[in-house]
Amino acid sequence: MPMSQKSSLYRTIDILKDLNEGKKLCINALANYYEVAPRTTQRDIKLIREIFGDFLTKKGNCYQGHKKVLLEELLHATDLMTLANITNLFDITNKKSFISIKTDALIKNSMSVYDFKSKPFEVIQDKEMLKKLEHAIKFNKEICINYQGDYTIKERVFHPYKIIFLNENFYVVGENITKNSFASLRIALIKELNYTSKNFHRVKEIEAFIEAIQTPWAQFGVEKRTVKLLVKQKVAKYFILKKYLPTQKIIQKLDNGDLEVQYSITDFKEIEELLIKWLPNVKVLEPLALNEMVREVLFKKLEGTNLA
């Protein structure tokens, strides 16, 4: 298989393995070896640094890991779990060993302390289709896909911008040309994918929206609205410890221990699940109309429940 046809995940883990062995890697040399653009390998390095921290020394366009202790000394157990899940996603470890024996041992050892019950990745069966999707994103290729809807499989023409991970699922986001709208499509529900003969130009407004997207229900072209919640002292610690949406801001802590928390959303569905989860220990302060919407959602859920 030509290097350029390898999945970006294969390439990134391959680079990570070389860094772990203390090799000095230069952007242009990597680009030539993997038959990709220099900016692509630069993104690979950036991704590695984002996941595993700033462990690299940089000279010009070349990078090298600190000594030969990259994974063995700098990774926490959760980082090791991230690496383990990335490798398991495409059954990489079954095809070729991309991680050192010591690192593999550390991953297994971390399992004696950590047990991650929530799987961070949904299963994607068609790996070749995923590679085609990656290729279409990198080279701005228009695609035609057959997508599993609620009842039928429908064909649609699509301009794919990026693969994103939300709510434990992989989505491809971009323009649904068939409906002339922005769309987030579950990759696992794509039944067939083919290139058309066309390339597309990216829209800056869509790229900016994708950078800020925080849930699958975000609406493109809709002005963001501010939602303010009163979080009771009983559960305040959970909101302090965890951001339930990227836009979460703690405005103030009241004398009685309650919190005022703020979010920016484009659609009520973006915060609906959060509100219902924490009722009755949260209250909508703004907009007040949202309280009525919450009641309507709860009523519909109860109405559809068989209480007999």
Q: pLDDT above 90 covers what percent of the chain?
A: 44
pLDDT digits (tens, 9 = 90+) for 162-187: 988 887 788 999 999 999 999 999 99
Q: Strands 169-176 and 259-265: what pairing?
A: unpaired
Q: Which of 95-109, 131-145, 205-219 has the lowest mean pLDDT?
A: 95-109
Predicted pLDDT of residue 291: 81
Q: Which of 129-138, 172-181, 198-207, 234-243 has the lowest mean pLDDT?
A: 129-138
More confident residue, 279 or 250: 250
pLDDT digits (tens, 9 = 90+) for 9-48: 678 778 887 887 778 899 999 999 988 889 889 888 887 7
Round to whole Å and give the CA distance between 261 and 35.
48
Residues near 182 by Cβ (< 8 Å), separated by ≥ 6? 173, 174, 175, 176, 206, 209, 220, 221
Look-up of token digits 């869509």: 206
Q: Mean of the pLDDT values across residues 189-214?
A: 94
Predicted pLDDT of residue 137: 92
Residue pair 52/44 in contact (Cβ under 8 Å)? The answer is no
Q: Which of 79-93, 127-141, 191-205 has the lowest mean pLDDT?
A: 79-93
Q: Binning pLDDT at 50, 70 and 90, where does residue 111 land?
A: low
Residues near 52 by Cβ (< 8 Å), separated by ≥ 6? 16, 70, 71, 74, 75, 79
pLDDT > 90? residue 98: no
Q: Binning pLDDT at 50, 70 and 90, where does residue 308 land?
A: very low
Residue pair 193/145 in contact (Cβ under 8 Å)? The answer is yes
Q: Mean of the pLDDT values across residues 188-207?
A: 94
pLDDT digits (tens, 9 = 90+) for 120-142: 556 667 778 888 898 899 899 99
Predicted pLDDT of residue 22: 78
Q: Strands 153-166 and 169-176: what pairing?
A: antiparallel
- The domains located in the chain, with CATH, are 3-110 (1.10.10), 127-212 (2.30.30), 225-303 (3.30.70)
pLDDT > 50? residue 95: no
pLDDT > 90? residue 50: no
pLDDT > 70? residue 114: no
| Concatenated DSSP letters of 184-212 | EEEGGGEEEEEEEEEE-PPPHHHHHHHHH
Backbone angles phi, psi at 148, to 5 degrees: -80, 110
pLDDT > 80? residue 109: no
Which of 238, 248, 232, 237 lies closest to 281 in space, CA to CA?
A: 232
Residue pair 74/53 in contact (Cβ under 8 Å)? The answer is yes
Predicted pLDDT of residue 172: 93
Q: What is the pTM of this model?
A: 0.64
Which of 83, 62, 59 lies closest to 19 in space, CA to CA?
A: 62
**Average pLDDT taken over every residue of the chain:** 81
| 3-state percent breakdown (helix, strand, coil) of the chain, nearest 5 | 40, 25, 30
